[in-house]
Structure 1
């Protein structure tokens, strides 16, 4: 019989039990629990005691989006393993895990105060576009991929194919293939290519909302989609957000800076690519990118900041890129400059 899901967000006694099993608190310590925002797939709680602060994360069985979307709870272990693996490569780029509770399907990590670790998405939407920081994200991502590439042991450890399909490939690519029959064959071919390419450890949700601007560089959060597969997915997933945000940027200068950040990130990333032909990798990124653009307006996880008119603009532009099958990121950047009036 399957154990019922115990949602910790509504049960402080259960939170106390979890922390005690991790030996993080004693019986007599009082707890102050408050929810943290930022995700649709997990409960994230800030926990304060008299002398310490933690962040507790627990995966949810049903994601908090408009369309029905279920995902396996065991994905929490993919995230934990990704964080531990990356901590050995770029320790400054991940939060330190303080404890894991397999019974409650959750883990506790360091709490990173927003005064020192600003959310990158919030900064970008506020017009604070640091091109050098974007380059540093590209460098960290490329370093992770380089150090995990062509590694059979990691491929076996992160064989979360079903998880990645239910969290990423189907709700993004599968959904737009169903919504746009005209492009179904092309999109499904890219889905299959992504699904069957096994090159490096993939985070699966590299987006500005999951990156903090730390004192020692980027800190990457929310690796519950982690999977050993196509590194093109991580790069395309992140680059997508610069194109989308340039549509809503209020000034030409901000639009130009977002597209400069787009270029800085991928150019720095490719300085680390030595595990395969860079041109082949770039072609996979460039052909995947229009699919992800379309997915953020017509998939299961549309971005929240586009108006209906802006979403239509993105849809038409993404379809144009799909039809042209562009294979170079500089060509996409040039195309997008015209789309946003630069």
Structure 2
């Protein structure tokens, strides 16, 4: 590619040099490990610029192909067309730079993770179960609208990011560390890489949800693929369980949130999802012994999560109700 500027770029530079265009305010956004993300503000516009990294920002050696950015662009386009109020709009995608530009939520929309972990109660804290129900509706809509759709399956048939960002650092890593339950973990991993249910988000967690007065907005689609619906369900269940053990005084509220999430999901997508309890247990173990442990857990809570996960994986296909019963027992 030529290094010369386009006419438009030259004109923009000239207008800025004359003080006729305000310089944008650029703020680095934190919280993720897979890319560089910036908020770019030039009133009245608010945009997010995201570049996928080949080596993730964690202590261990964790690499993934940066071309996954274009998968995220495709997922954004599709899911924004289905639920425009609950996803950012894609503005631009540059495959040569592995970079996306998308609309940003209002500045006062916090992440759902920060709401759940907040020490001081707030209106948003009180609405945690309602937000979970809304997320179940959003996810159920995505899954039902893409269920067994051959055209969408053909668009999202690259499974390398799933292996690099989920199965290898989560399942395969903890299977080696815990040989007593390795067969159960490997069976769950095999299901994730072979099932073809619907378009799966792949990172459906509170850190990737912003909450505002009009409901939640879901972010971060770089692990999107046509795969096993159970991954998205187990991912959110896992994070709610981790937080119930981390904040035991909110355990009942978080259990209510988990139940409302599943009930709302099932109303939108009544297709059967099997082994949710086992998949959730695998992810719990991964978040203490995998390549990306949950940073807010202390040693005692990590030990409790590990005991819970290993006990569940030693059983024969525990239900998600049993998973939560044992979680509430452990959180006392």
User: Does the alignment reach a TM-score above 0.5?
Assistant: yes
SS at match of 1:118: coil
1:340 aligns with 2:326: no
* Structure 2 residue corresponding to 1:34, chosen from 27, 30, 42: 27
- Secondary structure, counterpart of 2:314 in structure 1: helix
Unpaired runs of at least 5, structure 2: 17-22
User: Matched residues in 2 for 1:152 and 1:197: separation?
Assistant: 14
1:116-168 deviation per Cα after TM superposition (whole angstroms, max 9, x unaligned): x2210000001525211111101110110000000111111101211111111
For 1:50 and 1:273, how far apart are their aligned partners in 2?
Answer: 40
Measure the CA separation in 2 of the matches of 1:166 and 1:220.
22
Which residue of structure 1 lines up, in the alignment, with residue 53 of structure 2? 60
* Per-residue deviation, residues 77-126 of structure 1 (Å, max 9, x unmatched): 111111111011111111111112222110111122331x2210000001
> 2:142 aligned to 141, 144, 150, which one?
144
Q: TM-score, normalised by structure 1?
A: 0.88
Q: Which residue of 1 aligns with 2:286?
A: 295
- 2:95 aligned with 1:109: no
Contact 1:47 1:54 in 2 (8 A): yes
Normalised TM-score (structure 2): 0.90
Query: Does residue 118 in structure 1 map to residue 110 in structure 2?
Result: yes
Q: Distance in 1 between matches of 2:331 and 2:316?
A: 20
What is residue 244 of structure 1 aligned with on the other side? 242
Aligned partner of 2:195 in structure 1 is 197
Aligned to 1:159: 157
Matched, 1:258 2:281: no
Tell whether the 8 Å contact from 2:70 to 2:93 is kept in structure 1 after alignment: no
Question: Pairwise CA RMSD of aligned residues?
Answer: 2.0
SS of residue paired to 2:192: helix
8 Å Cα contact 2:67/2:95 also seen in 1: no
Runs of 4 or more off by more than 4 Å in structure 1?
A: none
Unaligned runs of 5+ in 1: 4-13
Q: Report deviation, 1:250.
A: 5.1
Corresponding residue pairs, total? 316
Residue of structure 2 equivalent to 1:71: 64
